[in-house]
Structure 1
């Protein structure tokens, strides 16, 4: 029997006075973090939460996030992380689909947690720092509730080519082993380390590689609620950050800010990048400017997330996502599931302790990507060299990565289709120097339609999170289609110019 949150208790017992989480002048010791989490566990059970019940968490990267996260886990609950930017319909889907009975939401969430929770008949607990602390002070701590390794710890919602987000079921073993591996084998964290917590914790990358990795090691996690390159450099200098984990756009923002200001970043000993391919010029420019090596890796929500990484103490191949991590197998396969010859492109398949149980309440969708013998098909295409290093060459899925955030075309297309003037639409990623990719939409209107580009943009903006709506919309007479009439998204091109 085990529970992911046991690792918080272990770190708190080892040194209760050391700083666990920091946000500028606000600090939270390990002892206080554990105490608050155990009190929240009591509050949740008093509200009827039982082991295995789902609880939504919709907060930015603030100290209350780990309190809520570990509090839910300590009570035996399952965490359903949610972007605080989500709108009413999105919130309602996450809650209804997961079956969450309670939503812990930031009091100033720019999204729409209250209406979404109400629509899904879930109880909303507003998290305002002062009032939240007072509420927790009024209840007694609850002892940790034991869970089995195969029990669910987190449901991470990720879309695909089918539209609405699907819940990837991750177990206590999935999350614990992945964080242990990253914390010890790659970051080699100790209680004296300071980890930058700028990746959003509602995403698996930030949750495993920053939050859990730091807490498991008893290190300090210093937060940035909203990422800014100049702010990140200031925090690195102020808090003597030793490990930075981020996406390429974050490195680009810091490099740009670093050209304008002189910051002491000598405390950095290792940087890790994932979420999207790192441009070689960016990697070399960052390393030359700040004198810190960046190692690249690869993973998905469905793999907890780490599947491969360039070894920090071995050969690093620039442009590669590295080698499979300990306990994980990877191979490139053809459409029949057979491994392709060395150097030939094939879909990445993954098997190991990091692979999800399946998609929540979606057995057919699970069967499409997860074989009976445990191989998960990622939808990403790669080649493998003579040393076993993987190189991404294409995405089989049409995922758009905008500033580190995943945007799935089908989900946005469904919203566009809801407009009465729209006949058909295709959403694609457009290369962008700052964000990596921007969201664009080619739209075929109904005959006689009068909607403008700005009106359609506003229509979508009102219905999805701010990072998802298409900044670029253009109208076409006809979308490219294949023999069966299927829209060929890969043949849609952006005409250029300001839209």
Structure 2
């Protein structure tokens, strides 16, 4: 094997394992205790700069703010069994909310700000948070969605009448001799609850424990590093960045507004960002910016990206501008916890590979019968996190579906592991798609279009986009005699769906019939191929 022995392979069971690494911190400490101890170091260093709010916080200021918010929670007599809700952008004080929660051993449940009210209501009704931190921009939406809950709403910015301002919490006196709590369940205790989707399309609440896996891909960071990740706290990437910055004394640059490639390029040059964690769609935006070739990005030491496929052309454009080893393609999923499953540190030798399995994880490829396959054979990608997992919050049925009795997570992705132990993703078994990192199901849009007068049948699918991931597109069969145009369907969705990620950004095609499988069921892939063929003919 021409690569360092970072992994091991067991040919009898056909399983790849990450190389054992000694714990970076004392195993008996929680992430909250570790963060508390480390945040006392380097008090005068700048901890965070917000480019959208024009604010700067030292580590001492951020540390004190975290304790103030934690003290406010203690004054409300919140317990470790309670949950705090978050549906907010990367604003100035959101990191302090996270640190306050982990100091108190209270799990927080993070939702995306783009979720529609029905999704917010469903998710927060599962965890029943006592407090919800949101932006004033979403205050009315969140208030309506949580009307049945006994919950306090705290706004992070753009404060609205009736909300509690984060400034009120920051005025709370710090509890005397403040110290982080000891976790009642140790490091198996849930620290964060993120959102994912199972096999049915209903959002799931995914517990992440207070595991030290956070440090697997960040333990090389130092106070000389400058971090940027555009993800909010409802993504593992956003959570990992927040924890890493607090623990490793890095400078973190944040932005609460929509992703802007030109702005980020200017920030990389201005602040000499060394660690960038980004979605492949955003990577494509950067590569296609007119400023890309002129902007200095040689400060980058680690450029991590993953979660979906990424164009080789985009990766090559970056590779020409950075040093060897900077590009690192990662693969992971929310249920796996706070660490990626694999990471490719060898882009030049294995371009477009998702990399090798990381320490603390195991990987195998299985066929439809669940049998492990040999290297270079294509099947479903499965991971074992080698740690405790609580299962989906209050959802044991779906928990049993996503993870088998031996503890293996079935990702729904297809791929293979080559002879050197590098994972290559080839496709998806699931219908679930992503638009700008927001997960959605074709059925959500199909349900809307079927209610349109004159529609007989519809099939929605994803059309790959370098910038958006998967644009929803539709093939629609009109009822006999109905005069429906593609523009009519697109406008109907716009008029009846608020969320941008559920729009037909990929277009619409009026057809005489949907492509079907031999058993008569809709063949989504064949319908998509026909759509693209017709699209190409019209160009």
**Is the TM value for this pair above 0.5?**
yes
Q: 2:174 aligns to what?
A: 140
Q: 2:276 aligns to what?
A: 244
Q: Closer, same or farther in 2 for the Cα pair 1:324/1:117, shift >3 Å?
A: same
Q: Distance in 2 between matches of 1:256 and 1:111?
A: 37
Aligned length: 489
Q: 1:466 aligns to what?
A: 500
Q: 1:216 aligns to what?
A: 247
* Larger-Rg structure: 2
Mark the runs of 5 or more structure 1 residues left unpaired by the alignment: none
Contact map agreement 1:310 1:316 (CA 8 A) in 2: no
Find 2:221's aligned residue among 177, 184, 189: 189
Q: 1:18 aligns to what?
A: 45
Within the alignment, does 1:88 sit opposite 2:117 as a pair? yes
Within the alignment, does 1:385 sit opposite 2:405 as a pair? no
State the 1:321 CA deviation: 0.6
Q: Distance in 1 between matches of 2:84 and 2:404?
A: 29
Contact map agreement 1:164 1:411 (CA 8 A) in 2: no
Q: Closer, same or farther in 2 for the Cα pair 1:51/1:260, shift >3 Å?
A: closer
Contact map agreement 2:490 2:503 (CA 8 A) in 1: no
Computed over aligned residues only, the root mean square deviation of the Cα atoms, in angstroms, reads 2.8
The secondary structure found in structure 2 opposite 1:480 is coil
Find 1:488's aligned residue among 502, 513, 523: 523
Q: Distance in 2 between matches of 1:43 and 1:333?
A: 49
Q: 2:6 aligns to what?
A: none
Q: 1:229 aligns to what?
A: 261
Q: Closer, same or farther in 2 for the Cα pair 1:216/1:12, shift >3 Å?
A: closer
Contact map agreement 1:196 1:221 (CA 8 A) in 2: yes
Q: Distance in 1 between matches of 2:150 and 2:475?
A: 37
Q: Deviations over 1:152-174 (max 9, x none)?
A: 1112111233021111221112x
Q: 1:365 aligns to what?
A: 398
Within the alignment, does 1:401 sit opposite 2:430 as a pair? no
Alignment TM-score, normalising by the size of structure 1 = 0.89
* Aligned positions of 1:193-208 closer than 5 A: 193-208=225-240
Alignment TM-score, normalising by the size of structure 2 = 0.83
Q: Distance in 2 between matches of 1:386 and 1:491?
A: 33
Q: Distance in 1 between matches of 2:107 and 2:446?
A: 31
Within the alignment, does 1:278 sit opposite 2:305 as a pair? no
Within the alignment, does 1:351 sit opposite 2:384 as a pair? yes
The secondary structure found in structure 2 opposite 1:372 is coil
- Which deviates the most, 16-25 or 162-171? 16-25
Q: Closer, same or farther in 2 for the Cα pair 1:454/1:283, shift >3 Å?
A: closer
Find 1:43's aligned residue among 72, 90, 99: 72
Contact map agreement 1:349 1:376 (CA 8 A) in 2: yes
Within the alignment, does 1:65 sit opposite 2:89 as a pair? no
Q: Distance in 2 between matches of 1:9 and 1:192?
A: 20
Within the alignment, does 1:157 sit opposite 2:195 as a pair? yes
- Which deviates the most, 218-227 or 253-262? 253-262
Q: Distance in 1 between matches of 2:292 and 2:355?
A: 33
The secondary structure found in structure 1 opposite 2:96 is helix
State the 1:260 CA deviation: 6.0
The secondary structure found in structure 2 opposite 1:306 is coil
